Structure 1
Amino acid sequence: MTAGDGFNLHLVSDSSGETVTNVARACLVQYGNVEVTEHFWWLVRTTGQMNRVIEGIRNAPGLVVFTLLDMSARDLLEQACRDIRVPHVCAIDPVMQAFSRFFRRQAMSEVGKQHVLDDDYFRRIDAMHFALQHDDGQSMATMAEAEVILVGVSRTSKTPTCMYLANRGFKVGNIPLVPGIKLPKELTTTTKAMFVGLTREPKSLSDIRQSRLRIMNDERASSYADVDAIREEIAEARRLFVRHNWQVIDVTRRSIEETAATIIQLYNQRQTATPS
């Protein structure tokens, strides 16, 4: 896409690009169906690399959002943006300035500092392995080691929510509720994990399941996507949640991130309330 075809957004970083991408996309979702072409420029650490970035901006003018801690690289980019006459902004400047005022000291400005291989990094890697091993009711023998266990009927976003939580460092497993199959009794008595029941409105769940069947080329008549059958399935799941006094989250109008954020909040409240 060239200049004039929609909007160009250049995301520039001297590290992995994760921060600037997350900030930009968190803002983009507030602008509906605006057509944007994203140009990614990661690991920009030399003058030659920056010159290629500038040439790319010149060829497709647009908004430039960056996270550059090296001041010489930043000065070069900002001057080029002024010359090309394109808007530019550092994604973390306001936050960094607020921190500097609060702590009364300047930042270290070390590139990639947030990606060091510390204990937190390895904890997240372990959590990802755990989530993969305990997805969809697998490895029940060690499911009790989880910090959080998600329970719900099919297509209630259990797996993606688990993966998101694991990326935040939580040991999470999930168990599907299948009509006619009971949850193992011993699991609820041998674990200290926080159970969370996930549910969804019947019509929404029916639509998702019908789409799933079409993708799988399975057009057979089935109670799997039948609204009345789903309504009973969800009612039975809710009875289970109430019986065990588990927290319940309706994911119908929630994104994965919103569901995960709610679970993290519930988990932290539980940890605070639980005597050490």
Structure 2
Amino acid sequence: MNGVTDPIRQAESYYHLHLVSDSTGETLISVGRAAAAQYSVKPIEHVYPLVRTHRQLDKAIQSIEEYPGIVLYTLTDPELRNRLKIYCQNNGVPVLSVLAPVVRLFQAYLGGVPEPRVGGQHQLDGEYFRRIDAMNYTVMHDDGQHTDGLEAADVVLLGISRSSKTPTSIYLANRGIKTANIPLVPNLPIPPGLSELKRPLVVGLVASAERVVEIRRNRLLGLNASQPNDSYVDRDAVAEEIAFSRRLCARHGWPVIDVTRRSIEETAAAIIGLLQERRRKMFETTSA
């Protein structure tokens, strides 16, 4: 593994990626996919969660032997960890503990010896229940439902149909952020009290007319309800909807995010950045 690309490997259209964890495997999946996304060759994932016994590890090793590839692992049991590592090294299989370098950095800074805990990030603690509470709130306040409870939100998303409000709301809720979303329709009033909200961050989501039309047409085709002449998929009508959204947000001083070329994760990250900046300013104001 000297950094030189193997021409045989480069010519293959796929490779095997083995993810071995003594917890849910979510950390491994995220890291593995983030690294794999840097290459055009696609991985075939083999995920082995909750590996806590030698018998469970046997199944993972058997699969690695049958489908050699890259092995990433998070195992806190030293016997299991060493067994997997030694097997891979003896058989020329690239293997890496994804948390080891990070833990070493923490140890160098904090000192002491870490106390390994299986699935420590998934404990039923306050943070866990905060995410569950946020998810419940978000589902209850999707697509303009229960607008009388918007003051309890952390974030309120505004946007026309097919501007990714709901998936962005769900993603934020999974991060523990209570999120409501409100559909915007030209010539229809916004919910009463929306402009007077004090606690939540209100954000408008917009996209290009071409992108919105494309998504709407695909949705209609999926529902077998395509209506080419309907204003719902008319480019000029959609452009006016978007202009209406921008005017509304400008009038109230609400930030706007163009989601045309953003993934849900990127949109959520931008919103979280705005939320953190808003909270920082509020803290500085109250502590002054």
TM-score by length of 2: 0.91
Instruction: State the Cα deviation string for residues 49-82 of structure 1 (Å, max 9, x = none).
Output: 1111101111111100111121111101011112
Change (3 A) 1:53 1:5: farther
Residue segments in structure 1 that go unaligned for 5+ positions in a row:
none
Letter in 2 for 1:39: H
Residue 189 (structure 1) aligned to one of 178, 192, 196? 196
Residue 23 (structure 1) aligned to one of 26, 31, 40? 31
* Match in the other structure for 1:9: 17
* Match in the other structure for 1:231: 239
Greater shift, 125-134 or 205-214, is seen at 205-214
1:266 paired with 2:274, answer: yes
1:48 paired with 2:52, answer: no
Q: Distance in 1 between matches of 2:112 and 2:263?
A: 38
1:73 paired with 2:63, answer: no
Letter in 2 for 1:174: N
Give how far 1:191 is off: 4.2
Greater shift, 17-26 or 91-100, is seen at 91-100
Q: Distance in 2 between matches of 1:5 and 1:182?
A: 53
Q: Distance in 1 between matches of 2:113 and 2:246?
A: 52
* Match in the other structure for 2:5: none
Letter in 1 for 2:270: T
SS at match of 1:185: coil
* Match in the other structure for 1:198: 205
Greater shift, 81-90 or 230-239, is seen at 81-90
Instruction: State the Cα deviation string for residues 13-61 of structure 1 (Å, max 9, x = none).
Output: 00010111111111122213x1321001000000111111101111111
The two structures, once aligned, show a CA RMSD in angstroms of 1.5
Letter in 1 for 2:260: T
* Match in the other structure for 2:105: 98
Change (3 A) 1:246 1:190: closer
Contact 2:16 2:70 in 1 (8 A): yes
Residue 125 (structure 2) aligned to one of 91, 103, 118? 118
Question: How many aligned residue pairs are there?
Answer: 273
Give how far 1:201 is off: 0.9
Residue 173 (structure 2) aligned to one of 158, 162, 166? 166
Letter in 1 for 2:115: M
Letter in 1 for 2:165: K
4+ residue runs over 2 A deviation: none
Q: Percent identity?
A: 46
Residue segments in structure 2 that go unaligned for 5+ positions in a row:
1-11
Letter in 1 for 2:189: K
